[in-house]
Chains A and B, each alone.
Chain A
Amino acid sequence: MYKILLRQDLVPNIHLFKVAAPVVAKKAQPGQFVVIRIDEKGERIPLTIADWDKKEGSVTIVFMEVGTTTHRLALVEAGDFITDFIGPLGLPTHIDKLGSVVCVAGGFAVATIMPIARAMKEKGNKVISIMGARNKNLIFWEDELRSVSNQLIVTTDDGSYGRKGLVTEPLKELLEGSERIDRVIAIGPSVMMKFCALTTEPFGVKTIVSLNPIMVDGTGMCGCCRVSVGGATKFACVDGPDFDGHQVDWDLLFARQRIYIDEEKRSFEQWQSQDGVSS
């Protein structure tokens, strides 16, 4: 059992948990993920690691309420326990001194990009971060991301905060600008990652994306998370989750993310009707 040491509601439907998991904290690196299971009847879902504290023995995860599991997880409070917290899984993000690195975060992936931006900055890179959200109410960790970036650009789809528009627009401007960009790391919803990759491709700037297909075990055992990269089948859990965004077969990823769309709906409806929030 793993204790939730701290809970923060970053925005109404995005939550932060600091979880007591000393062995995971000891080994965690930027870009890796954990697989969690809430209880005996729960499914195993992957969540990226947002932060860790070796001394305290804690690992921080950030998640958004999407389906049954994340809605159920949102009912867990500080002091409560979840049954399983397995990691760190996947290969860490390749951190190196590259020059200028653009870190693009869409939605709650700002939490995922944080340790990567920090590590890139610590390596001596110039880090330019772009964070985008649908609207002002979904913005969090702006100051945190700014503190590990040389420059931060905030966008919202509706213009309620920062610059109006999608993250791909300032990304394109940076690429067109006079400054040389050596690496782009884009993490967020799959569609956003796809369009970031399409934006950078004409400029020939290597673009790393963190893929989020459906997983079960997360250790290379089942092959549910297979993706096609450069024409070869890869398991995102052990060969990734980071891949070259220009090589990813995005349509396959989108299709495979929808395998259980009917079941997800059915599960959520039944949860809402039976055990769901009473409000």
Chain B
Amino acid sequence: MPKLNLNREPMPRQAPKLRGKNFNEVALGYSAEQALAEASRCIQCPKRPCMDGCPVEVDIPDFIKAIRDGDMPEAVRILKSKNSLPGICGRVCPQESQCEAACSLAKKEAPIAIGRLERYVADWERANRQSIDSPVVPPTPTGKRVAVVGSGPASLTAAADLVKLGHGVTLFEALHVAGGVLMYGIPEFRLPKDIVQTEVDYVTSLGVELQLDSVVGKVMTIDELLNNGYHAVFLGTGAGLPMFLNIPGENLNGIYSANEFLTRVNLMKAYRFPEYDTPVKVGRKVAVIGGGNVAMDSARCALRLGAEEVYIVYRRSEVELPARREEVENAMEEGIYFKLLTNPKQMLGNEQNWVVGMECFKMELGEPDASGRRRPITIPGSEFIIDVDVVIVALGTTPNPLIAQTTPSLETTRRGTVVADEATGKTVKDKVWAGGDIVTGAATVISAMGAGRRAATSIDEYLRGQ
């Protein structure tokens, strides 16, 4: 038996000082040699534990073997048969807690870099699409129509699956571009928008009809969709409503929700103002409140826009940061300051209503709470002030109530999420399924895709049984 190779191929990245000044992608992707070297490390173990770690059950060892065999079209075929959005997943999936955590080599602290290989295959396909012989056999039309509401990862996956099964699919998107959080939320330097657009174009090339500028709940209700020729509805509208701290001074000028800040920058391209019409306040000293991926994205955007000092303000300690480790490291390398065990008490403004400071408490960690993380406790009398001129609140999001408000028979939780069966995505309302962040609250791209896939399977079964 050959000796195990425990040298994981590193991902080439733009130098920290350089990338802090541009919006180009940070991770540059494997070269062919690197991909081959990394793929060759896979021992093709018979138990395939990596697949159990994948919410959409990609045949991981098989596509890795195809890379090793130099058969890239085969690698593409295997990957795309289970995952319609590999270019996205290869970039933003938390592989370290999914497939790579389950890899047999994870015990040796050198799991196969499955995400990087996935990205390599997707990027290869993008560059060589014309040369691939893709025999798309059109499915037999079933005559059934499905309305898919929202166009983020859950919806794109459900739409692609359903159209491949022969159903007519219409995607309704409220914004002026499709992709949901992949477009408005995740920044260019982490997920280039032309990658997202390519994946959206792939889904529409399968025959999915896309209706932009369509706010379901306003322009039509779910019941109206069902009464107007749609046999089933999938709700994948995500969690788009920003949470605020509800502390004094939060409506001061210069205080953004992360949604607003990122939407201005990513969707409306405020980083190219005034060439693009939408402005954004950059600020000299920027504080981002929160410790998740969205907080890291916001902080790194602010830095790239030219802020002099950018802080992450988080109430727990470094180990509890919910963001991906890789993104925390990227942020630290780029020079983002971390003010940990710190929690805002109030925002301070000047006479023009502009934020000038943030009064914070120092925190300490107590016993673990319901989430299993140690509970942050305020240290009395520890107040101190951070000078800021822009604050970005990245505390998470809850589902937008627009659809639930106009669909009385839908069951929702106290947190505003829609109640749906975990295995099938079926809601309590007849002919309506839901999946992704609208059901779980803000989570990951891949878990949303998994939910979209399971719902598509269930919708297909229902439509065929009719």
State whether B253 touches A259 (Cβ < 8 A). yes
Closest to B278 in A: A43
B240 close to A (CB within 8 Å): yes
Chain B facing A: main interface SS: loop
A24 close to B (CB within 8 Å): yes
Closest to A37 in B: B176
Instruction: Given A41-B276, A42-B277, A267-B277, decide whether A223 and B242 contact each other with a Cβ distance below 8 A.
Output: yes
Contact with A along B202-240 (1 / 0, CB 8 A): 000000000011110011100000000000000000001
**A6 to B400 alpha-carbon distance, docked (Å):** 35
CB contacts under 8 Å to A, within B394-433, are 400-402
Cross-chain pair count, CB within 8 angstroms: 115
B334 close to A (CB within 8 Å): no
A54 close to B (CB within 8 Å): no
State whether B215 touches A86 (Cβ < 8 A). yes
State whether B218 touches A68 (Cβ < 8 A). no
State whether B277 touches A84 (Cβ < 8 A). no
Complex contacts, A277 vs chain B, CB 8 Å: none
Q: Chain A nearest CB: distance from B84 CB in Å?
A: 25
CB contacts under 8 Å to B, within A199-227, are 216-217, 219-224, 226
State whether B263 touches A222 (Cβ < 8 A). yes
Q: Chain A nearest CB: distance from B352 CB in Å?
A: 7
Q: Of the candidates A42, A86, A255, which one forms a contact with B352 in the assembled complex, judged by CB atoms under 8 Å apart?
A: A255
CB contacts under 8 Å to B, within A247-267, are 251-252, 255-256, 258-260, 263-264, 266-267
**A231 to B400 alpha-carbon distance, docked (Å):** 22
Q: Of the candidates B218, B279, B401, which one forms a contact with A260 in the assembled complex, judged by CB atoms under 8 Å apart?
A: B279
Q: How large is the interface on B (under 10, 10 to 19, 20 to 34, 35 or more residues)?
A: 35 or more
A74 close to B (CB within 8 Å): no
Closest to B252 in A: A255
B317 close to A (CB within 8 Å): no
B125 close to A (CB within 8 Å): no
Contact with B along A11-44 (1 / 0, CB 8 A): 0000000000001101100000000010001111
B386 close to A (CB within 8 Å): no
State whether B277 touches A221 (Cβ < 8 A). no
Complex contacts, B241 vs chain A, CB 8 Å: 220-221
Complex contacts, B96 vs chain A, CB 8 Å: none
Q: Chain B nearest CB: distance from A76 CB in Å?
A: 15
Stretch of B21-29, B267-275, B308-316 at the chain-chain interface: B267-275
**A64 to B331 alpha-carbon distance, docked (Å):** 44
Complex contacts, B214 vs chain A, CB 8 Å: 23, 86
State whether A219 touches B176 (Cβ < 8 A). no
Instruction: Given A220-B401, A223-B244, decide whether A41 and B218 contact each other with a Cβ distance below 8 A.
Output: no
**A23 to B402 alpha-carbon distance, docked (Å):** 17
B383 close to A (CB within 8 Å): no
| Chain B interface residues toward A at CB < 8 A | 174-176, 184, 212-215, 218-220, 240-242, 244, 246, 250-251, 253-254, 256-257, 259-260, 263-264, 268-269, 273-279, 281, 352-353, 400-402
Besides the known contacts A87-B219, A223-B256, A267-B273, 10 further A-B residue pairs in the complex with CB atoms under 8 A apart: A43-B278, A69-B277, A84-B213, A86-B174, A86-B215, A216-B264, A222-B242, A222-B257, A222-B260, A263-B273
